[in-house]
Amino acid sequence: MSDCVFCKIIKGEIPSSKVYENEKVVVFRDINPAAPIHVLVVPKVHIESLEALNQDNIGVVTDIHAAILETTRILGINEEGYRVIVNCGKNGGQTVPHLHYHILGGARFDEKII
Ligand code: 5GP
Ligand code: ZN
């Protein structure tokens, strides 16, 4: 989508600090990190949210999870662990309407919502 900030990052129209990229997914550092390591795993196809997944595009979830595994190894947080968060819609606190998974690492998260 032309006015989507993550589509602009994917197209290179807005700079980002990329840590991993393949044909289907890009991973870059969050501009406002909530942890020592905070990156966003973003499919290159514009999908608004988890709720916009369907039979035709659900394969991207496999691509995202494979990219998470590549990324946690690249960042060296695979052994100590990390947290993955997906915000969905208004009540989920989603602010950018392009599906993305947050990876948070480099610290121990003692506060638990669940
Ligand atoms: P959400 O709140 O939708 O789950 O997450 C959106 C995330 O995108 C936020 O953590 C925010 O800091 C990040 N973000 C928003 N705009 C930009 C940007 O232009 N560049 C980068 N690297 N991150 C962004
Ligand atoms: Zn987009």
Residue 9 has what pLDDT?
A: 98
Catalytic residue among 46, 65, 98, 100: 100
φ and ψ at 26, to 5 degrees? -125, 145
* Per-residue pLDDT of the chain in tens (114 residues, 90 and over written 9): 779 999 999 999 999 999 999 999 999 999 999 999 999 999 999 999 999 999 999 999 999 999 999 999 999 999 999 999 999 999 999 999 999 999 999 999 988 777
The atom number, within ligand 1, closest to the CA of 86 reads 4
The atom number, within ligand 1, closest to the CA of 95 reads 3
Residue 94 has what pLDDT?
A: 98
In the chain, the domains with their CATH numbers are: 5-105 (3.30.428.10)
5 in Cβ contact with 96 (< 8 Å): yes
Q: What is the 40 CA–ligand 2 centroid distance (Å)? A: 13
Catalytic site includes residue 46:
no
Q: What is the pTM of this model?
A: 0.97
Task: Give dist(CA 26, CA 90) in Å, integer.
Answer: 24
Q: What is the 96 CA–ligand 1 centroid distance (Å)? A: 7
101 in Cβ contact with 77 (< 8 Å): no
